[in-house]
Amino acid sequence: MTLRDALGALGRRWMLALPILLLTTGACWVFGRPGATYTARETFVIQPPASPQVPNQLNAFRPSLALTASAVAQRLKSPLGERQLRARGVVGEYDLVPRNSGTVQTPAYIIPSVQALVTGRDRATALRSVSLLMSAFNSELAALQDRLDVAQDQRITTRVIAPADAVRHAPSRIRVLAGIGILGIVLAVLAPIWCDELARRAVTRSAERWRFRGMPRRATPGRAGSPASGG
């Protein structure tokens, strides 16, 4: 199909393009003003119990503590853990991300640092949910040590190193409008061309059938001994 044919199809079937353009305008009006979201975050470490040999708990980090933090995080991100968090009141998407503190000289994740993240529609809800997520993490950590019969003075605990805060994320309105507009224009152009092509093919097939029916039938030659042969 040439450009001239496409323009002709648009001119003949512009009534198909009009509803699509109207729907595109409505979609731009409805979805062209996306609301902002907030991501609340809080960073903490898993620290071992204080001991006379190592009075500074920050000097007693071991990779095993990082593994414990990762195990608790995976438990809370499981389907069962998600149901429990929703029952507690956690709203929005959440995550518990182990932070890579390794360098060239030291192994990765040797410092058991974890960041709790919750994304919500407003600042207060996101901050409340990240607080509930932290409470659930501490409860799960305590339950794990209860099952292992760890003495109270030998238990590992959490320590917040970056208090909770919320960051506002505003989506680009121009990108949303451009995406909806481009999709609507493409559909408004292709729909009339596609329908015109289907109609043209239907007319062609119908004309071919009528022409075949109007063609004269060829006479079948008589065989020897038949009445048509006069014998």
The model's pLDDT over 117-160, given as tens digits with 9 standing for 90+, comes to 999 888 899 999 999 999 999 999 999 889 888 888 888 888 89
Domain assignments of the chain as residue spans, ordered by start: 3-32+173-209, 37-169
Identify the segments of the chain with pLDDT beneath 70.
1-3, 5-7, 10, 30-35, 51-63, 100-111, 170-173, 176, 207-208, 210-231
pLDDT for the residue 229: 46
- Bridge partners of residue 45, in order along the sequence: 113, 159
pLDDT at 67: 80
Calculate helix-pair angle for 79-88, 123-147, nearest 10 degrees: 120
Q: What pLDDT does residue 174 have?
A: 73
What is the DSSP code string of 4-28?
Answer: HHHHHHHHHTHHHHHHHHHHHHHHH
92 conformational bin, left if phi > 0, alpha if psi -120 to 50, beta if neither:
left
Query: What is 37-169's CATH topology?
Result: Alpha-Beta Plaits (3.30.70)
Nearest Cα residue to 96 out of 74, 111, 120, 129: 74
pLDDT value for 230? 47
